[in-house]
Amino acid sequence: MSPTVEASPAPLWPLPCRLHARRRETRDTVTLELEAVGPGLGEFAPGQFNMLYVFGVGEVPISISGDPAHPGRLVHTVRMVGAVTRALGRLPRGGAVGVRGPFGTSWPLEEAAGSDVVVVAGGMGLAPLRPALYALLARRERFGRIVLLYGARTPGDLLYVTDLRRWRARMDLEVEVTVDAATDGWRGDVGVVTTLIPRARFEPASTVALVCGPEVMMRFVVRELQARGVPDGSIYLSMERNMHCGIGQCGHCQCGPFFVCRDGPVFPYRRIAPFFRLREL
């Protein structure tokens, strides 16, 4: 895994940005494209997150969901659940957002070179994995098979349908999508994401697995990957804990001896396994 990222230029001071574009993904999810008011947006690594600050409302950690090859426009996908995320979702074009980051560890794409890569996403978990997919495809020749297994609640909850359609059309990427509950007109698979793992084509012993989704989903995904023979050391998870400061000081996101904001959110499964079953603290 990539080492903890160096402190960003201004970890405690938000960079002024404004909303450039917004795309509705699902009933309760939007993708926001931000641009810096002045110069200042730096690079990020797939898997990292930013603290987004809505003035007068508050600040929340949100994964970066855009293409790392185009860091000038910051892309985040937000599910509107509470005060801050709803305010983000309602932001008018040109509206102000403060950005601190990028924070956290990233997906181990360097280590994955030469291996098969299996990306398993559940629900919103596809957001922090999308930059990894962009990066993998940008240097496609460096990897063996690449498989994306994505599960969502219903067809209407699928994120990035345009990307999914494009990825599906590629011959060098296997994309399997499944939903828990089909609606009229859905012609794809029905069932949880774990059911896709036994039938996906990859070489378990030389596979790196990148997993993000609800913790309960990740638990069962890990079990299926293990059953296929993927070594624990090759499984990486992105964890989520409520966090406030983003730099390992406030202690809100502690998970065993780790702070998710500083030591994660991407962890090798082997490292996090003993604490994986703990409920959110």
Partner 1 sequence: METLERLLAAHPFFKDLRPEHLQVLVGCAANVRFEAGQYIFREGEEAKTFYLLRHGRVALEMAVPGRGSLTIQTIREGDVLGWAWLFPPHRWHFDARAVELVRAIAMDGQCLRDKCEQDHSLGYELVKRFAQVIVERLQATRLQLLDVYGHVPHR
Ligand X SMILES: Cc1cc2nc3c(=O)[nH]c(=O)nc-3n(C[C@H](O)[C@H](O)[C@H](O)COP(=O)(O)OP(=O)(O)OC[C@H]3O[C@@H](n4cnc5c(N)ncnc54)[C@H](O)[C@@H]3O)c2cc1C
Angle at 76 between CA 79 and CA 36, to 5 degrees: 135
Q: Which is nearer to ligand X, 66 or 265 (CB)?
A: 265
Of 19-58, binders to ligand X (CB under 6 A) are: 49, 58
Q: 153 touches which of partner 1, ligand X, none (CB within 5 to 8 A by kind)?
A: partner 1
DSSP the chain: -PPPPPPPS-TTSPEEEEEEEEEEEETTEEEEEEEESSS------TT-EEEEEETTTEEEEEEB-S-TT-TTSEEEEEE--SHHHHHHHHPPTT-EEEEEEEES----TTTTTTSEEEEEEEGGGHHHHHHHHHHHHHTGGGSS-EEEEEEESSGGG-S-HHHHHHHHH-TT-EEEEEESS--TT--SEES-GGGGTTTS---GGGEEEEEES-HHHHHHHHHHHHHHT--GGGEEEE-----SSSSSSS-TTEETTEEHHHH-SEEEHHHHGGGTTPPP-
8 binds ligand X (CB under 6 A): no
CB of 88 to partner 1, least distance (A): 12
Of 109-168, binders to ligand X (CB under 6 A) are: 124, 127-128
Q: 192 touches which of ligand X, partner 1, none (CB within 5 to 8 A by kind)?
A: partner 1
152 binds partner 1 (CB under 8 A): yes
CB of 23 to partner 1, least distance (A): 18
CB of 233 to ligand X, least distance (A): 23
Which of 31, 85, 106, 234 touches partner 1 by CB under 8 A?
85
Choose the stretch contacting ligand X; rule: CB under 6 A; options: 35-43, 75-83, 195-203, 218-226.
75-83
127 binds partner 1 (CB under 8 A): yes
In the stretch 77-116, what mask flags binding to ligand X with x, by CB under 6 A? xxx-xxxxx-------------------------------
Of 200-259, binders to ligand X (CB under 6 A) are: 240-243
> Which parts of this chain interact with ligand X (CB under 6 A)?
49, 58, 60-63, 77-79, 81-85, 124, 127-128, 240-243, 265
